[in-house]
Amino acid sequence: MNFKKILTLSCCLTLALNMFTGCGSEKTDSSGSAAESTTQDSQSEVTEAEVTEAQEEEYEPEVVEVPELEGYSLLWNDEFSGKELDRTIWTYDPHEPGWTNSELQEYTTSEENVFTRDGKLVLKAIKTKDENGNAYYTSGKIKGQNLKDFMYGKVVARAKVPEGKGLWPAIWMMPTDEQHYGQWPKCGEIDIMEVLGHQTDTAYGTVHYGEPHGEQQGTYVLEGSDTFASDFHEFSVEWEPGEMRWYIDGNLYHTVNDWFSAVDGEDDKPYPAPFDQTFFVQLNLAVGGTWPGNPDATTDFEKAEFLIDYVRVYQKPEYDTNVTKPVPDFREPLEDGNYIYNGDFAEAEALDDEDNWRFLLFNEGEGSAEIKDNTLTVKTDAWGTEDYSVQIVQAELPMYKGSKYRLTFDACASEKRKMKVCISAPTSGWVRYLQDTPVGLTTEWQSYAYEFEMTKKTDHNGRLEFNLGRRSSLADVNIKNVRLVQVEEFSDDAVFVK
């Protein structure tokens, strides 16, 4: 029942009760006093009962019919239809500012930060000031640790995120016993949903593991004007012994099956470690941090609410735990030994897919890229806030531990400027196999060569990056003849990076 309607009814009935009580206190003649008193008592009893019934009805949880999923049984769920947080499912997770990721918020146990409203859980970020007059943020984080832990299943959550720079809502999972395989990332982490408040058309599903830190992330972008802040969407992950699958509104967008857990320098733990132990679900709304950046003047904290409609966890009757880790495919070099596909830009391929070259923009970077006449040209309209705000990349490069590599390319710019080149590890914690290296460009074509030794764990997914963001020039950059080859010995004229 609507709270405002109940409150109005209660007030009206109470007023009526007082009026009747007032009349009964007046003197009456003996002929009518008994009848009037009986009538007034009856009316008073009815009124009090109605008030009590209305007050009870006010807090009566809504009955929600939870849908069945074929092949699954419902393990537990929370529809957030009660008057307050269900403490048999969730516990608060208070932390001081800076607890992780350089985030700004204090997670509290206050009902101002965590509460239910209209059948939804609300995690609210609040901006106040500390004793020195500086901005201070509080927010909400809850978890099901030691209450609703489980191993394997399908987690389904429907939520609506807040919009605003520096806001970072998340639905994610951590192991019950974080020390079973060792501290993060060895313990593992499953991120069902993360959205950045300044980019609410994009959601991320990620798995973390290691060590060294490995991660694999999927991205889902809504089309048109719809965002994850404009309406509710359903986020889910299917966690099985040998595979995880991420969905948004029923659409599969990310699959992972080749994780590991190890102490750096030691052999891997038996697969599927670390994801062969109980995990729990947690929900939070962070403020600031290394990924979303800090709030600015445009962030409206009156609307900084992360709304969760429900969380439902299903399980299959049984799971086959006799699984083996798939052997990754390692890219074969071309006939001339080059691991870069279309490095001569003979094919004017699309740059917005996963095949070969890909053009990417992040963190306020703006620009475009095209392949024409055996040359890749990148135009920068806004250089953004990070080196990678404007970048052209090629992934799936095999990096073998102990091997030596040489990267060469030709490049020039429409005016003198710099860019950075590196070979990174997008699924192994973004470590650098070839360190971030400034490249000075002129208006004349020049040839560049960089050599390095691969000293990290063998990786089938190295990534070549040309980063044009956060530069002091918007000059166009032209690149051609890109090659990455294995070498037996380093050459004297190459730049050695190790």
Which active-site residues does the annotation give? Answer: 189, 194
Q: Are strands 91-92 and 141-143 parallel, antiparallel or unpaired?
A: antiparallel
- For 470-482, the DSSP string reads S-S----EEEEEE
For residues 186 and 178, give the distance between their C-alpha atoms in angstroms, rounded to a whole number: 9
Spatial neighbors of 152 by CB under 8 A, at least 6 apart, are: 239, 240, 241, 315, 316, 319
> Which amino acid, residue 245?
R
Spatial neighbors of 182 by CB under 8 A, at least 6 apart, are: 211, 261, 263
Q: Which of 462, 453, 455, 448 is nearest to 495 (CA)?
A: 448
Which residue, chain included where needed, has tokens 């059948």?
119
Cβ neighbours of 166 (radius 10 Å): 25
CA angle 305, 306, 308 (to 5 degrees): 135
Q: Which of 228, 271, 268 is nearest to 248 (CA)?
A: 228
For residues 317 and 69, give the distance between their C-alpha atoms in angstroms, rounded to a whole number: 12
Angle formed by the axes of helices 3-24 and 30-58, to 10°?
160
Cβ neighbours of 468 (radius 10 Å): 31
Any alpha helices (H) in 306-453, and if so which ranges? none
Helices (H) and strands (E) in the chain, counts: 2, 29
For residues 436 and 466, give the distance between their C-alpha atoms in angstroms, rounded to a whole number: 10
For residues 81 and 7, give the distance between their C-alpha atoms in angstroms, rounded to a whole number: 18
CA angle 194, 196, 198 (to 5 degrees): 160
Residue 496, CA atoms < 13 Å, CB-side half-sphere: 9
